[in-house]
Amino acid sequence: MPFEDPTLERHFKGHKDAVTCADFSPNRKQLASGSVDKSLMIWNLAPKARAFRFIGHQDVITGVQFSPFGKLVATSSKDRTVRLWTPSMKGESTVFKAHTAAVRSVAFSHDGQRLVTASDDKSVKVWSVHRQCFVYSLSQHTNWVRCARFSPDGRLIASCGDDRSVRLWDTSTKHCINCFTDYGESATFVDFNSSGTCIASSGADSTLKIWDLRTNKLIQHYQVHSARINSFSFHPSNNYLISGSSDSTVKILDLLEGRLIYTLHGHKGAVITVAFSRGGDLFASGGADSQVLMWRTNFDTKPYQDVLQQHSRRATPDPPPHLADIHPRGPHLHHSQPTTVQVSSRGQTHPLEVLSGHPSSVDSILRHIVQQLDILTQTVSVLEERLTLTEDKLKECLVHQSQILKDVRSSGERRRRTDSDEADGSPVHFTGGQPHPQL
């Protein structure tokens, strides 16, 4: 089964200004993007399906993310608010008056119960999704906070900002448990890998670094871009990472081998956002040219050992190590000969050689897996709705019970006062509307 270069699948035009953020829905049927034009676009990926434009923010949209079950879309904005949208034709939204300055990022916890936001007011805040209320704040950054993300298990939050630091927070104690200060300029983006054992962060100094959280050591350091890195995304397998930069390129890194394998030229101007789909077979990029490009990865079409042989990296490759076990082989892991893929103005990718695709049997298996995942997603969504209804009914019961207890206490107090009046032996006779004791 041959190994293929990444290919440009589709490009979406609808924004009137730079695209700042993008995210795939969990079922891979929609792609959301936010822009400097203050609008949220929901692109339906089915052929000839309509796109939805949602208007509500009063300033640049800086972040977007689907909830884990795809029922909501969260956006952050320079208008100091966060909105929760329903990604359907109605486009209803709920507004959180989140911060006292621009909100730079928003992200769901992996159970969908909470949101974390980062802001120019130097704080990171956590919010309850169902109760739609503020929970707590983390405030040790000394400058603008550019990005914040939950770990997969929800026990940690990573944040980074213009104070040139990456901070790690314990969500139970609300304390900063680690601080990485290896950047000469602003730290622009941060995220956990899917296993939660590592975090990566990028900087305005064009570097990308990966730390092992179990040892708190820097294990990989890449300097493959020639300008600021604005965004990156881990592949779900943790074997690859894509990054977008102001140098107008998207780079694909092989994290197992610790080297750059592809440079993609599709945008005219800075690449501001990149994001893998949940399955890892697609990724999106958005940039200053107002376009959203959707790419197919193609690098999961062969076992990893075959990929190594395809690129002649080793004569006899060892079994692929876990990401957390990789250590730098030099000061900068960027001495490689990557493949460059050019995209023409017509949106077509020109690979280095013509290669065949998946056999039909594999396509059939993949379609079956996608169908099963859709069923599971729908089931979880139904359970989530039932849980929300149960929570609402429980809240009503508690309010009703509280009112009953209050009435019982009031009735008891009145009874005690009446008993006290009867016990003093002085009957009360009412005349002229005023009570007087009878002599």
Q: Give the other-Cβ count within 10 Å of 94's Cβ.
A: 13
Q: For residue 4, what are its two tokens?
A: 């293929």
Nearest to 284 by CA among 2, 6, 5: 6
In angstroms, rounded to a whole number, what is the distance separating the alpha carbons of residues 198 and 191?
Answer: 9
In angstroms, rounded to a whole number, what is the distance separating the alpha carbons of residues 166 and 162?
Answer: 10
Nearest to 139 by CA among 115, 159, 164: 159
State pLDDT tens for residues 257-304.
999 999 999 999 999 999 999 999 999 999 999 999 999 998 755 544
What is the end-to-end Cα distance of the chain in Å, rounded?
Answer: 111
In angstroms, rounded to a whole number, what is the distance separating the alpha carbons of residues 276 and 284?
Answer: 6
Determine phi and psi for 16, rounding to 5 degrees.
Answer: -100, 0
In angstroms, rounded to a whole number, what is the distance separating the alpha carbons of residues 269 and 23?
Answer: 20
Q: For residue 151, what are its two tokens?
A: 């770990």
What is the structure's pLDDT at 367? 59
In angstroms, rounded to a whole number, what is the distance separating the alpha carbons of residues 37 and 22?
Answer: 14
Tokens 């209050």 identify what position?
406
Q: Give the other-Cβ count within 10 Å of 176's Cβ.
A: 18
Nearest to 182 by CA among 164, 200, 161: 164
CATH number for 7-350: choose from 2.130.10.10, 1.20.1050.10, 3.40.50.2300, 1.10.3430.10: 2.130.10.10
Give, in order, the Cα–Cα distances in Å from 255 to each of 227, 273, 333: 21, 20, 10
- State what percent of residues in the chain have pLDDT above 90: 63
Pairing of strands 93-97, 81-85: antiparallel
What is the structure's pLDDT at 410? 78
* Helix, strand and coil in the chain, % to nearest 5: 15, 40, 45
* Positions of E strands within 67-204: 73-77, 81-85, 93-97, 103-108, 114-119, 124-128, 133-138, 145-150, 156-161, 166-170, 176-180, 187-192, 198-203
* Positions of E strands within 151-185: 156-161, 166-170, 176-180
For 41, half-sphere exposure in the C-beta direction (CA atoms, 13 angstrom radius) is: 26
Residues 6+ apart with CB under 8 A from 353: none
In angstroms, rounded to a whole number, what is the distance separating the alpha carbons of residues 148 and 125?
Answer: 9
In angstroms, rounded to a whole number, what is the distance separating the alpha carbons of residues 254 and 261?
Answer: 6
Which stretches of the chain score pLDDT less than 70?
1-3, 300-368, 370-393, 395, 414-439
- Domain limits, the chain: 7-350, 359-421
**How large is the C-alpha radius of gyration of the chain?**
28
Beta sheet of 208-212, edge-to-edge order: 187-192, 198-203, 208-212, 217-222
In angstroms, rounded to a whole number, what is the distance separating the alpha carbons of residues 181 and 386?
Answer: 45
Give, in order, the Cα–Cα distances in Å from 109 to each of 29, 78, 104, 117: 21, 22, 17, 11
DSSP string for residues in 202-268: EETTS-EEEEETTTTEEEEEE---SS-EEEEEE-TTSSEEEEEETTS-EEEEETTTTEEEEEEE--S
Helix (H, G, I), strand (E, B) or coil at 377: helix
State the pTM of this model. 0.70
Nearest to 64 by CA among 147, 169, 171, 168: 147
